[in-house]
A and B are shown apart, each in its own frame.
Chain A
Amino acid sequence: MHEMSLCQSIAELIEDAARRERFQRVRTVTLEVGRLAAVEPEALEFCFEAAMRGGRAEGARLEIVATDGRAWCLGCGREILISRPLDPCPHCGGGQVQVTGGTEMRIKALEVE
């Protein structure tokens, strides 16, 4: 699963930030995960712990914040919010929806010491 390579990217981004911002340890990593991102939170947490080992964020708490899944409904021609990729439009019930946002994954903030 690519959760591991995502967590390795997180580890690298943290070490970059540590050099820039001069911190020694990370207490909490706040991650923004789109509701439509193809990642499994449990796998993410599992990999996170392993990938942070030996770095400044070893033992850090992972805080996952969900962001909206956004889509465009072709049926009613407007922007809608969905929580899963195949959810129908909440207004018209139509299944022709094009995902427009909420697939991303961002490091929002770090609590450091």
Chain B
Amino acid sequence: MCTTCGCGDGHEDHPQGHAPNPLAPWSAPAPLAHGTRLISLEVDVLEKNDRYAAANRAAFASHAVQAINLMSSPGSGKTSLLVRTIEAIRGTRPVAVIEGDQETARDAERIRATGAPATQINTGKGCHLDAEAVGRAVATLAPAAGGVLFIENVGNLVCPAAFDLGEAAKVVVLSVTEGEDKPLKYPEMFRVASLLLLNKADLLPYVDFDVDFALQCARRVNPGLTAILTSAKSGAGIDEWLDWIERGRPPRIAAVR
């Protein structure tokens, strides 16, 4: 089905130069009614979000904060991975966390139990974090200069992909209990990510999950995607994940230390 108009196949009136598949026709422009005028706007629908995201990015840069946006479906292990990660980073570098969930402050409390500062955003009906909400959370949280700021997005493999938060990198978590073909079903999420954490690796002996096939699916969507097999339970892959974070550290910060 066409993603734009929802049409099936079979249109024959497509303008030349389009993709070769049968596509939706352009909507026929209707003549202007009397007393109306046409205003050309040419503005991105996410323009407001993008402006807040740019402001966040500038604030992160000026404080040398490395912001990482973690996304996955509900329950893939984002919070568990963060708890592990914080325990491993502790003492080497400041860490702060913004938690996004529709309801409850449970995840922020789990983070605070490690001693790291955390702010919870409850999106209510909202299915994703947006840059404005993150900006407000950053202002209360005041993450320490030179540190890492993890932003745990609302558990959802669709909507969070569309919203720039001003982060330095987007990381998608997929657990081995979810099925190898998730990247094909939710391509946008895997396309925008620069790292894939294949989590719950400790469960591999108990599930029929083909790691190679999962990576094949992910790279079909995003050929350059880096992947790390992790377990928040056993700690496997955490060192590799820390190395990846370290490599993304803005060079200026390294010079400061």
Contacts and interface: CB of A to CB of B under 8 A. Distances in A.
Interface in A58-93: 61, 63-66, 68-69, 74, 81-87, 90
A108 interface: yes
B40 interface: yes
Nearest to A14: B41
Contact of A66 (B23, B162, B222, B223): B23
Given A27-B36, A103-B188, A83 B23 contact: yes
A35 B213 CA distance: 27
A111 B36 CA distance: 6
B11 to A, nearest CB: 11
B254 interface: no
B35 A10 contact: no
A64 B5 contact: yes
A1 B127 contact: yes
B32 A36 contact: no
Q: What range describes how many residues of B lie at the interface?
A: 35 or more
Interface residues of A, number: 56
A109 interface: yes
Given A90-B20, A98-B222, A113 B27 contact: no
Interface string B208-221: 00000000000111
A32 B118 CA distance: 39
Looking at chain B's contact residues, is the secondary structure mostly helix, strand, loop, or mixed?
A: loop
Given A1-B127, A64-B27, A66-B5, A85 B191 contact: yes
A40 B6 contact: yes
Given A2-B159, A13-B47, A95-B220, A36 B3 contact: yes
Contacts of A2: 127-128, 158-159, 162-163
B29 A63 contact: yes
A50 interface: no
A108 B223 contact: no
A33 B4 contact: yes
B43 A106 contact: yes
Nearest to B30: A28
A9 B46 contact: yes
A108 B40 contact: yes
A97 B19 CA distance: 14
B184 interface: yes
B4 A35 contact: yes
Nearest to A113: B36
Contacts of B35: 113
A111 B30 CA distance: 10
Interface of B: 2-6, 17-21, 23-24, 26-27, 29-30, 32-33, 35-49, 126-128, 130, 158-159, 161-163, 184, 187-188, 191, 219-224
8 contacts: A13-B47, A38-B161, A87-B19, A90-B19, A105-B44, A110-B38, A111-B32, A113-B37
Given A40-B3, A90-B19, A111-B33, 8 more contacts: A2-B163, A13-B48, A63-B30, A66-B5, A69-B19, A85-B221, A98-B222, A99-B191
Interface of A: 1-2, 5-6, 9-10, 12-13, 17, 21, 23, 27-28, 31, 33-42, 61, 63-66, 68-69, 74, 81-87, 90, 95-99, 103-113
